[in-house]
Amino acid sequence: MSWTFTSEQDLASTFATEINPFWQTSVTLGEFVGKDNIDVHYAWCIPENPKSTVVISSGRIESYLKYKELIFDLYQNGFAVFILDHRGQGLSDRAATVQKLPARIPGSDRGHASHRIRQDPEIQTARAGQRCSPGAGQARLIPLI
C-alpha cells in the first residue's frame, strides 16, 4: 500500500492551495446540543469508497482545527474521518461552572480525558461508533498518542 502525506517543506503552500480548499468543499462541520445544553462541535469527511474509518479524539484544549493537515492526509489515503471538540475544548461550549468535578480526581487531573470519557454521553457514542461508521465492518480503536 502506498501512502501520501503532506510534505513539511511544502506545508505553507499546500495549506493555501489544497488543504483549506478541501476543508471548504469536502469537510462537513456541525454542532449538536449535548448533555446540559452544551453545544458540541464536530467535523467529518468520507471519501467515495472509504477503506476504513478513523475517529480522532483530540487532546485537552485542542480544537479539531489543529488536525486539518492530518484529516486531509487521511482522507487522501482513503479514510473516512470523524472528530469532535470535547465539551469545554476547542469550539465546543464550556459549562457555566466547573464545580461538578471534584477538586482532585484520584490518579488524574480535573480535565483528564479518562474521567470525561466515563461521564460524557457524546464520547460514549463516538467510541461505540453508533454515529460514525460509513460501512459495515469490525471496529478497531487505535490510540494516537
Beta carbons of 120 and 36 less than 8 angstroms apart: no
pLDDT above 50 for 100: no
Check residues 51 and 141 and name the one with the higher pLDDT: 51
> How much is the pLDDT for 127?
47
Cβ atoms of residues 86 and 123 within 8 Å: yes
- Note whether 49 and 78 are within 8 A (CB): yes
From CA 113, how far away is CA 145, in angstroms rounded? Answer: 13
Residue 83 has pLDDT above 90, yes or no: yes
Q: In this model, does residue 126 exceed pLDDT 60?
A: no
- Segment 45-63 shows an average pLDDT of 92
Q: For the ranges 22-31, 40-49, 95-104, which has the lowest average pLDDT?
A: 95-104
Give 40 or 121, the one with higher predicted confidence: 40
CB atoms within 10 A of CB 41: 21
Predicted structure pTM score: 0.69
- Confidence band (pLDDT; 50, 70, 90) for 35? confident
**Percent of residues, the chain, with pLDDT higher than 70:** 65
How much is the pLDDT for 81?
A: 97
